[in-house]
A = this chain, B = another copy of it.
Amino acid sequence: MKAEVICTGTELLCGEIVDTNSPYLAEQLRLLGIDLFQITLVGDDPERLHAVLQRSLERVDLVIAVGGLGPTEDDITREAIAQAIGEKMCVDPDLEEWIRGVFKRLGREMPAENIKQAMLIPSAHPIPNPRGTAPGWWVKKGGKTLLALPGPPRELQRMWEKEVLPEFRSHLPGEVIFSRTIKTWGLSESRVDELVSPLFFSPNPTLGIYAKPDGIWVRIIARAAAKETAKEIIRSVEAEISSILKDHIWGFDTDSLEGIVMVLLEEKKLSLATVEVGFGGLLASFLSPSPQFKGGLTLNPQQAGTMFIPNIGSHIQHEFLSVEAALDFGEAAIRYFGTNLSLGVVGAAVDTGEKRAGTICIGVVGRGRKRTASGIYPPYQLKERAAFAALFELRRFLCELS
């Protein structure tokens, strides 16, 4: 099956907003095994939209039109579809009642213009939208399917997940698709590619490798006639990848590094403090939702350069930009916040003469153990990369604690 996505809205052509709906739909279609042929962004111009719809309907089996379902004059998607399909719109009494009900529950009269949203054509059935007043349209005609979905991502995603996806899943010709994402830290994208690509010699399963702020992700996508077969295909490849990437793997699918660390701290009933020297408080910001996180210190490198944490008197014994200094800062933080563990990171946002800008040193300490690491990241990514590098080391430390 081939598809096209058409997003309407003059704001998309003014650079005022970034379109996140089509990447979302692109990924969803991919997981369904539907080929996405083209994405087109057009303004709120009836003639243009009509021309784009017409051409897409000639080329593919499934056309998804996003946006333009509001009540105002600018909202022209319904009219353009009716014209492209060659049918007349009229008000659907059930839809009208539903929209009036939405306004009633808000304690308001339905504005006259909202009656537009109750319109249908004979080949369309409405798709419920509990997060707004614009129902979607599901049009089937002449072997083609056309979906009209609302533009606000919260409404579109809910409609896709609850209404469209189950219907597609139940009608796709006897094929299921499963995916599994393996998340790693500490290897380059090309190194991961080199290591895992040889496992993907056949068209099924397929492999995707993505560079993200929290490391390199490896995605396996498997197709099969039955659910269990698809899962089994993934299971065997995943086992092979795990035996290759080993300790670089920190999580799967929707896992986040900070989420995993928070769960481990809770399970092991450990409290944590952080010290960040030289590049800001992103680590404290990531960890702050956890009750196990007692607090964090962010220090200016000039301040830290005096070699002690003020008012604590814990003399930092080592060169400022070293893993030993990271451990010293961390031990001071344990005493200061009264925690079991600490995570200390020192970084150089600019060249220090001895060390290159982007250098970071990490120290995890507590419960009689310690773990250190260091790395160099592009200075413009330093804050984020340093925070993820530190979380990765903390996770390893926690996993190794009995």
Q: Chain A interface (Cβ within 8 Å of chain B)?
A: 12-20, 22-30, 36-43, 48, 52, 208, 210, 274, 276, 278-289, 291, 293-300, 302-303, 310-312, 336-338, 349, 383
A391 to chain B, nearest CB (A): 14
Collect the chain B residues with CB atoms within 8 Å of residue A310's CB. Answer: 295, 336-338
A280 touches B291 (CB 8 A): no
- Contacting residue for A300 out of B52, B294, B298, B300, CB 8 A: B294
Complex-state Cα separation, A22 to B284, whole angstroms: 35
A289 touches B349 (CB 8 A): yes
A61 to chain B, nearest CB (A): 16
- Contacting residue for A281 out of B16, B210, B282, CB 8 A: B282
A153 to chain B, nearest CB (A): 12
A12 touches B40 (CB 8 A): no
Complex-state Cα separation, A13 to B19, whole angstroms: 13
A303 touches B22 (CB 8 A): no
Known: A300-B294, A310-B336, A336-B311. A12 touches B41 (CB 8 A): no
Known: A288-B279, A300-B288, A311-B311. A18 touches B14 (CB 8 A): no
- Copy count, this protein chain: 2
Complex-state Cα separation, A282 to B41, whole angstroms: 35
A71 to chain B, nearest CB (A): 15
B300 touches A293 (CB 8 A): yes
Residue of B nearest to A337 (CB): B310
Q: In the A-B complex, list the 6 residue pairs whose CB atoms are closest, starting with the nearest.
A: A15-B27, A281-B281, A281-B284, A280-B288, A15-B26, A280-B285
B28 touches A15 (CB 8 A): yes
Best-surrounded residue of A22, A274, A283, A303 (most CB of chain B within 10 A) = A303
A106 to chain B, nearest CB (A): 15
B41 touches A22 (CB 8 A): yes
A65 to chain B, nearest CB (A): 15
Best-surrounded residue of A29, A288, A310 (most CB of chain B within 10 A) = A288
Complex-state Cα separation, A52 to B39, whole angstroms: 12
A13-B38, A15-B27 are known contacts; what are 14 more A-B pairs with Cβ within 8 Å? A12-B26, A14-B30, A14-B36, A15-B23, A15-B26, A16-B208, A41-B41, A278-B288, A281-B282, A285-B298, A288-B300, A293-B300, A295-B303, A297-B297
Known: A295-B299, A299-B295. A48 touches B41 (CB 8 A): no
Collect the chain B residues with CB atoms within 8 Å of residue A336's CB. Answer: 310-311
- Contacting residue for A288 out of B37, B298, B337, CB 8 A: B298
Collect the chain B residues with CB atoms within 8 Å of residue A311's CB. Answer: 311-312, 336
Complex-state Cα separation, A25 to B18, whole angstroms: 11
A316 to chain B, nearest CB (A): 14
B283 touches A281 (CB 8 A): yes
Collect the chain B residues with CB atoms within 8 Å of residue A298's CB. Answer: 274, 281, 284-285, 288, 295-298
